[in-house]
Structure 1
């Protein structure tokens, strides 16, 4: 073999090795970031990049819209898990240990948001008899139906319980919820159901005027429609995609824990039985994939059910801080649902709008996070 042929062979080998190395580099850069990776300071990673995570573009509008809720998670607040454990949990999302606690006590009937009909008794009745006479379904149309008894021992109104005796009864149906106001047909169904129960336990019902209650339901629904709010931010990857474990690792550092559904994490409230302050959601199919660490997420969502979280928890402040922290840590950008980056000015305006909404709810004794508000906005 001549010297020329040997030289050409060497050059060809070097070119081939360079192509292979380049392809490997491109593949590694495009692979989703995983929880096992360790990155330097986010600011250093972005050095020399002229594109900032937030632009001065304001939101076109900040209208608070009424949106049906997602079924919430029971709260719990364990300490942030180890990153390796989080990565493993991404393949099979585990339940928060505190989710096994007994459910919170059901809020009682309230004249503010319920039609209430007294059921007059001639003598005390046992909780066993009341439970046996309850209707098979606890709904009237799209509204919750309930029966309560006044305990002989405590004098408090409560749902009937075995072994207890009650000296007074009342039946109720909710005036409005996210399905709309109580209508004539639903009120009539309430009367039929309550009357049947009263007959079974020997009580005499005293129903309020239908026209007045239906009108009250419409007025309450009008107020609720104008003051229902669910806020959502979208975090989008600027360069490399994220794996579910990578997202979970960074979210756990901010106090998020696994929710009951795949692809869902929650930031728990400070009190037992309270709705989650924030929810973080990503593609559930990615969370349930055979190898989650090889699935790519280009975006995740942060949401706040405004009317379900007490104002004292400062939910919007914490939502804003979480969004910014996650964006900086994972090299992402915070946007609205339309993909428009949210500026500082836009976020400030949303915060001011929420303060006005909280004031309006307080003025109606329907403060955000209260039992009445959570029932009405459900």
Structure 2
């Protein structure tokens, strides 16, 4: 689901003017994979075989993968796999059609069918009208397994796209968090709804709730941070929701969802969001697809905050795993943009790099001459 493309920041525009000449070989960056080793949206070891089988119209590996996530209550992985499998089915859907024919009431095929229907409707100018027609598919997926929060995340996205009222969204939100109080995908859906609605969220004993009170745009950004901060504070230390505030920072820095940039949000709050996401990143395994999107997003935010040494540390943790988001919000060549930013960060004079003797400087706030902003 693609929102309005954000403006290209100046520090990225300058690097795009200096691509490697045709025929030249890019110099490897110390401590980082070579450019030709970096992959965009690479699947993990479980998803990869399912996608390969689906390319041959074999749906059974995908069915086993999703059934396993449901049986083990691996809701974050299930949500990520549902997104990726539905995206694949948009261009090659014969395997999903065969699965539906063989097992029309399977909770996993119902989930993919609902996700695919929402994805197909999203780019259309008639999005709201088309999405209202797919409501029965989401209802069927939600009823198929009452424990599963992922259909409710689909429902939250659907409600945002179809411009559903705040009371209805709040009912969906409460149903989602009853099933998984700290589910990352549901929180992201609620954050996007909040950013787009310019409303202030309420809170009760069950945690953050959906927005319902009118407010100005700068108040909406602060409300996004309030929502994200409360969710992160309530979540376990290793939960992906710990990274939710850095998504609010991204919305603030780019206007993603709200059309404004940093309005009414203090720099210290942006730094605190980045710090929390860095702490989560440090607790997670390095160079793994599961945490790649978090680290790609965090890298963007750190560079926009002129924290280039911290950004370089995240690039090392990313390893070869670039993700379309957030780079596709600024370019139709997300991998190219990621590689250009990576080279730019490494070329900035940063003082000592991680692992070298420390000069007493920190990464936060250090500027890089004319390359900063």
- TM category (shorter chain) comes to under 0.3
Between 1 and 2, higher relative CO (CA 8 Å, sep ≥ 6) is seen in 1
TM, length-normalised to structure 2 = 0.23
Larger Rg computed on CA atoms = 1
Structure with the higher fraction of residues in strand conformation: 1
Structure with the higher fraction of residues in helix conformation: 2
